[in-house]
Amino acid sequence: MKVLVTGAKGFIGKNLITELEQRENVEVLPFDIDTPQELLEQYCAECDFVFNLAGVNRPEHTEEFMEGNFGFATSLVEALRRNGNTCPIMNSSSIQAALENPYGKSKKAGEDMLFAYGQEVGAEIYIYRFPNVFGKWCRPNYNSAVATFCHNIAHGLPIQVNDRGTVMHLVYIDDVVEELLQALDRHPHVNLDGYCFVPAVHEVTLGEIVNLLYSFRESRNNFMIPNLCEGSFEKKLYSTYLSYLPEQEFSYPLTMHVDERGSFTEILKSADRGQVSINISKPGITKGNHWHHTKNEKFIVVSGKGLIRFRKHGSEEIIEYHVSGEKLEVVDIPTGYTHSIVNEGDTDLVTLMWCNECFNPGKPDTIYEPVE
């Protein structure tokens, strides 16, 4: 199956093509502004499906809107017509097509022309009026506030927000690509007006977006991770923000609490999923000897050899687990059991620790009691 993608080097085009290339039965025919014009004729003769993502949204002159949007769509249809190709066409439009501005008018003209063409030749026409699309590879300081905010905040640059209460309707690039692949498979979402749409639209204010982005930047200091539930706006925005990090700043330091016994380092925290830390113990060192009422933990030794010992509060029976980085296993630390971990080896004992709550010095829930 040969798929023509116009606007191939654009934001949506690049993301779509990376997915199309994963399909064994698809050959991508990419076309962009710098592609030799004669290839459009060839591609229109060969293609089995068209994704028309080409368009103009920030020209130097107003008349370029009509030329770049309606004009190119017309040229595309004429090339298909000349080659007797009635394959399906997906067209990228905008919610501004319902507005009386030059950009919106050019998009609406393209829509009307394509619908008329489809009725004339019997071609399937899938027109999407996209709201603001955000995600990786979107150019900052161009036509996306989200991309600009992500880039500037990640680079420590100022941003300008005229009205924090402005409501944005946003769709994430992965959701857009998933929907476009649905269209390719002839299963698009279609509303009663005949327009196709991406189901997952997020309604959020500029102020909420900015607050989240600054919290993402601060997470390198407080280790708090956002809500990463499947489908959440925070998850999608966080992934987008990370794609704008300066390349020389992918890594960041952690605070190691070091003493003669080894070290303890916090890595991640969350409001409802606790925290993850790394504990390093020197040979012969014992750590722990305490128990918790509600706090619970999971230990995973990833390097070295250790012994984890338990004793239920009020009991004399000691339970032992020998652990090693050579056999990864999770050891639960139940409430009401005093516990310790001993480095039995000749090298550092490295333990990944998860706790169900972030450490609160005002309520540590940690009662000292030796295992033996």
| Active centre residues (catalytic) | 103
Within 10 angstroms of residue 16's Cβ, the number of other Cβ atoms is: 25
What is the DSSP secondary structure assignment for residue 166, as one 8-state letter? -
DSSP strand pairing (2-6 vs 49-52): parallel
Tokens 């927000």 locate to 161
Distance from C-alpha of 199 to C-alpha of 175, rounded to nearest angstrom: 8
Q: Identify which of 247, 257, 297 has the alpha carbon closest to the alpha carbon of residue 281.
A: 257
Are the C-beta atoms of residues 282 and 348 closer than 8 Å to each other? yes
Question: At 30, which helix (H) or strand (E)?
Answer: strand 27-31
The answer to whether 216 touches 241, Cβ cutoff 8 Å, is yes
158 and 152 Cβ atoms separated by less than 8 Å: yes
147 Cβ contact list (under 8 Å, min separation 6): 134, 138, 139, 140, 141, 240, 244
Token couple for 272: 């409802």
Q: Which 3 state secondary structure label does DSSP give 301?
A: strand
Determine the Cα–Cα distance for residues 219 and 239; give it in Å rounded to an integer.
Answer: 13
DSSP at 46? H
| Nearest alpha carbon to residue 88 among 56, 114, 55 | 114
CA separation for the pair 197, 185 (Å, rounded): 15
For residue 269, the one-letter residue type is: K
Residues in a beta bridge with 134:
172
Do the Cβ atoms of 261 and 281 come closer than 8 Å? yes
Q: What contacts 33, CB < 8 A, 6 or more positions away?
A: 9, 54
